[in-house]
Chain A
Amino acid sequence: MAIFKDNSASHSDRSAWDRKRHRQLVEEAIKKNLGDIIAEESIIGQSKDKKIKIPIKGLKEYQFLYGKNTGGTASGNGQEQRGQVIGKAGDRDTQDTGQAGNAPGEDIYETDITLEELINYLFDDLQLPDLDRKKFAAIETERKFKRSGHQLKGIPPRLDKKQSVVEKLKRKQSAKRQENAIMPPISERIPFREEDLRYFRIKEELRPNSNAVVICIMDTSGSMDQTKKYLARSFYFLLYQFVRYKYENVEVVFISHSTEATEVNERDFFHRGESGGTNISSGYAKALEIIEQRYNPAIWNIYAFHCSDGDNWPGDNATAITLAKELCDISNLFGYGEITTGRIWNSTIRREYQEHITNEKFIIVTLERKEDIWPAFKRILEKDSSAGGDN
């Protein structure tokens, strides 16, 4: 007679450890593929809940297998004819999934994650504690004054005339009552006295400043090809996401420049190519002009970032440096990203920057391949955190 065991009492989650490790590997794979993911995302106007499909490459369990084009055997419905087309190569329905043992299958793991989760993965990787986020928010504060009640002393502009009259009437009425009882009549006219005057009490309110603007400046001269723009775009995407993570109200400004700079929309920024030479300073001048007009540095946290291949017109270098310094002074962070696809030496402008700009809010990164984006971005954030810290 068979033995029956009822094992429900000893329930244990034995797969927990392996699930956790699997999950970790999935997350690592997601991070490794960030370059692919972010490059395809539009920078702004994405809802936080938007789902992104991420193909995870790292989780396949590789083995020696036969290719998909080797054919096989299957059962049908009796209507099959020789030469009949039953599917496209690589279709999953025609795979012999039911066959024994060798279940390697197609291990394409696609995980749906939302943009929000993606950003969380990003910032988990940076190990920014929540604390930092709060600190960032409290650094820049905005003063606001609000009336709240009254006080006896104050400065003339805050005199509450209405309340002072009320106080005077109150005094007069009480004087009248007293007069009827014991006191001799007083004169007709009752003047204001010091004690009647009432001033507004002003409460000072500190509000964390949560406005930020990301100024994307890009060289769109002839030498910036699609690949370079693609790198720049991925970079701006991260920057935008990061700034949005820190501040409530984030605006983005796109400035494209060749020899002259114009403010453009996102589409034109990434897709419209121009030809001709490069005056980097024109982009900086435009940025300064826009800040001057719309984004008061006292209220706005400014993140400016410039991507270029560094082919500047030599005569413009001096002006570019001066304006870059100015941008550093009013920004939280000003970065220069040099995109050097297929080139090993650094450009002149980069050397000039390194030599002349000492402001700690300035940072230079070099982007050559997709894989460089994330490390470069991490360096920028480290910079931002240390600049925003206590030192």
Chain B
Amino acid sequence: MSNYSLTNLEYWNRRIEELVKNSRLNCYPQEFEIVDYEDMLCYEAYVGMPSHYPHWSFGKAYERQKTFYHYNLVGLPYEMVINSNPCLAYLMRENSILLQVLTMAHVYGHNDFFKNNRLFKRDTRAELVVEMFKAHADRVREYIHDPSIGPAKVERILDAAHALRFQVSRHGELPLPTPTELTQETTQPVPPRLKEDLLGFLAEKGGLTSWEQDLVNIVRVESLYFIPQIETKIMNEGWASYWHYKLLEELDLPQGMHLEFLQRHNLVVRPHERSINPYYIGFKMFESLAKSPGGRLGIMDIRVNERDQSFLRRYLTRELCEELHLFTYGVQDDNVIIKDISDEDGWKKVRDKFADSVGLGNVPIINPVAVEKGTLQLEHVFDGRELELGYAKETLKHVVDLWGAKVELTTDIANYRQIISCNEDKVIIIKDA
């Protein structure tokens, strides 16, 4: 912050807040923390949380981020905001004043999205988030320091739980079972409420001690907190980009800053050729929706009700598909080839394939189906996409760690129904189903 002071930031923030107030945005109180580059890397590694339990994967994340920045593989981090009330965001000291203004405006967009989107309202409790992560961290540290447990045992369970972190209920936490339901469950090896929640099933029914169950639940609860963000990546970034653009245009920036703003903005929302830039797709969609008749009100409802999958299905029009040059690709022999492009015949297929692959659509569904003679039977809900076999085998070993006995997974490999089994000694066998 060599060229500006905190007073500068407060000045620009006041002006942004005025514009926010006059818009239809509805935000949590906002807090900005000014941090340096190292702190920013740390926050990124620990998913933005001021307090988080330790695990080597965060060390790895840190090293990787740092290496990427070092080799300039990604731009500088200038946006980090967490879904909490008050909403917490970080501003990196090294950034220019314009970048800070841009970030602040962008953050208000996310803040509003967190507060209003249906998924966030249903599955997260923003006012407890920071406390919750702190409590998790305290408990994990307690287990690590407990002489009868220690770091190695904690790590083994966390490794396993991390491997299954997205195998949880995709629709938030279900209500607790009633006493009648619980009595019924005694005869059901896999109770209906856990049929689509492998991690929850293992936490409850696996061969775990109470502290191990707690660790698995900590990971599971954290996943449930992040799933709304995963499910709305395109919308959330699109919404924030739409608003930072609108707010900064209205701010009447001095010419120099305005120029830098346009440059930065274009960098953020540029297309990533042959991949998907969620900022670009989301920004373009909201921009075009807002221009349509009644759109400025319409987008307020859309941000409340949709998730990426439904958002794309409903609002990705043929015109947008063409403008964004979207296409689908597949693998034939050893080549990656283009399958459909966004023309008259192809755009619907492109749209649908895109919608199916966003958020958790890209995570295979693995469900517990039965327990037979102590062996846990899992099923991959096959939709034409095969599992990466090497990863599946290793992940299965982690399932065994939590289940405590043999585990079998049914899936399709090269058009054949197969069972991958892993016993307690972590020996993997693949046989016909």
Contact = CB atoms under 8 A, between A and B. Distances in A.
Interface of A: 1-8, 11, 13-15, 17-25, 59-78, 80-89, 91, 93-102, 104
B389 A73 contact: no
Interface in B58-98: 58-60, 62-63, 86, 93
A6 B1 CA distance: 11
Q: Is the interface of A mostly helix, strand, loop or mixed?
A: loop
26 contacts: A3-B29, A4-B10, A4-B33, A8-B39, A15-B46, A15-B59, A22-B57, A62-B398, A63-B166, A69-B331, A74-B274, A74-B327, A75-B325, A75-B327, A76-B274, A76-B327, A80-B327, A81-B341, A85-B337, A86-B274, A87-B335, A91-B336, A96-B357, A99-B357, A100-B231, A100-B234
Given A76-B327, A81-B341, A18 B59 contact: yes
Given A4-B34, A73-B328, A89-B336, 16 more contacts: A2-B104, A4-B10, A11-B39, A60-B391, A62-B391, A63-B166, A64-B167, A65-B392, A66-B385, A74-B276, A77-B273, A77-B325, A82-B339, A98-B276, A100-B278, A100-B359
A22 B59 contact: yes
Contacts of B281: 75
Contacts of B167: 64
B338 A82 contact: yes
Nearest to A104: B391
B165 interface: yes
A86 B332 CA distance: 11
Interface stretch (B171-179, B254-262, B360-368): B360-368
Nearest to A8: B36
User: B233, B234, B308, B336: which has the most chain A beta carbons within 10 Å?
Assistant: B336
Interface of B: 6, 9-10, 13-14, 17, 29-36, 38-39, 41-42, 45-46, 54-60, 62-63, 86, 93, 104, 151, 155, 162-167, 226, 229-234, 271-278, 280-281, 308, 324-331, 333-341, 346, 350, 353-354, 357-360, 362-364, 366, 380, 385-389, 391-392, 394-395, 398
B341 A80 contact: yes
B329 A71 contact: yes
A99 B326 CA distance: 14
B130 to A, nearest CB: 13
Nearest to B229: A101
Contacts of A4: 6, 9-10, 13, 31-34
B45 A15 contact: yes
A23 B59 CA distance: 8
B338 A80 contact: yes
Contacts of A23: 59
A83 B330 CA distance: 10
A99 to B, nearest CB: 5
Nearest to B333: A89
A85 B274 contact: no
Contacts of A66: 362, 364, 385-388
Contacts of B33: 4-7
Given A1-B14, A5-B34, A89-B335, A65 B391 contact: yes
Contacts of A18: 45, 54-60, 62
A85 B336 contact: yes
